[in-house]
Amino acid sequence: MESRIERIKKHLHSSSYKLTPQREATVRVLLEHEEDHLSAEDVYLLVKEKSPEIGLATVYRTLELLTELKIVDKINFGDGVSRYDLRQEGAAHFHHHLVCIECGAVDEIQEDLLEDVEAIVEKRWNFQIKDHRLTFHGICYRCQDKEE
Amino acid sequence: MESRIERIKKHLHSSSYKLTPQREATVRVLLEHEEDHLSAEDVYLLVKEKSPEIGLATVYRTLELLTELKIVDKINFGDGVSRYDLRQEGAAHFHHHLVCIECGAVDEIQEDLLEDVEAIVEKRWNFQIKDHRLTFHGICYRCQDKEE
DNA sequence: TTCCTTTTTTAAAATGATTTTCATTTTGAA
DNA sequence: TTCAAAATGAAAATCATTTTAAAAAAGGAA
Ligand SMILES: [Mn+2]
Ligand SMILES: [Mn+2]
Ligand SMILES: [Zn+2]
Ligand SMILES: [Zn+2]
């Protein structure tokens, strides 16, 4: 955890940004909720618990900065808010998501799975892929069990 | 074109909705811009050219209705507005997109390409896939030619 | 240290997309 | 033709996000 913060600090410095107390508090919240898909407001409320003086605009600015540095990925599941997801350290691409249309749960797929598809797209559409967003909408294992 | 409208009309009727003049005007604009990715405001301005009395709220309501009936797909490319994309008639899944990070162009991939990936996801994650969203971010063929 | 410039933060106001409200109009079945 | 339900338009409301402006913090140079 601490070493992860250290590396993020260096990452910021290498782009001449500072790891201010507010930024650190925000990053800690993200690290403590790796599995979640928090909105800016969600992050704000969590950061506020330990650093009550922080402002919402600062959280927005920090999330924007972390997105720019590819420390987090910004994603939109169609519910009107952007959500922020810590990127696995060293991951070349964003991971995938399973959104359940019954219960709203969001599960993650860390495996790449797209290597072949990307090879085809790069070749056939002559498109140089830098990143991707892949989300499946359907019924999660939990909701399937509930079905009659 | 006319037959496509007829089928959409039947589709609405089968869910006991009417194809009002405003809805028809909206659908026509979408049909005339199949390749584009129009925002609600874009649609509104285009509909207004032929039906100046229409209201923006009606366009929003119509797009929501068409989305619910899976006649259009709502998509978000991260620029703060939702965009609406006519679904290919009879298509089981939404098509894919190539977003150029240089010029902003959005190109389409109509081929499925995900059959194998979906088979793996259904089996390994026990997730019953109903639809998907796949977008690649990268450099389009036009911008590659322009490089250095 | 002290001074100075730059960066960052905060709270409040502004913005912009989307939704809701409500009075009015249109629709289609009886 | 009549009438209840559905749909519309204009305006207001809502909500996420961004901008503004003044104050605070950071950190390098003297
Ligand atoms: Mn995730
Ligand atoms: Mn498209
Ligand atoms: Zn579920
Ligand atoms: Zn391009």
**The whole model's pTM is what?**
0.92
Taking the CA of residue B16 and the nearest CA in chain A, the distance in Å comes to 24
DSSP state of B68: H
Query: How does DSSP assign A10-40, residue by residue?
Result: HHHHHTT----HHHHHHHHHHHHTTTS-EEH
In chain A, % of residues over pLDDT 70: 99
SS3 of A98, please?
Answer: strand
Q: Which residues of A touch B118 (CB under 8 A)?
A: 136
- Kindly state the average pLDDT of the residues A89-116: 93
**Domain B91-148: which CATH number of 3.30.1330.40, 3.30.1490.190, 3.40.50.720, 1.10.3720.10:** 3.30.1490.190
B99 has which bridge partners?
Answer: B106, B137
Q: Using CB atoms within 10 A of its CB, is residue A19 exposed (0-12), middle (13-18) or buried (19+)? A: middle
Tokens 């998509």, located at residue: B75
Q: Is B77 helix (H, G, I), strand (E, B) or coil?
A: coil
Mutation site, B83, B107, B113, B136, interface A, largest A CB count within 10 A = B136
Q: What is the CATH number of domain B1-90?
A: 1.10.10.10
Q: Which DSSP symbol is given to A59?
A: H
Residue B1 has pLDDT above 80, yes or no: no
Contact A134, A98 (CB under 8 A): no
Residue range B56-81: mean pLDDT, rounded: 96
- The mean pLDDT of B25-49, rounded to a whole number, is 97
Question: Cβ(B21)–Cβ(B51) under 8 Å?
Answer: yes
Domain ranges of chain B: 1-90, 91-148
Inter-chain residue contact A109 with B125, CB threshold 8 Å: yes
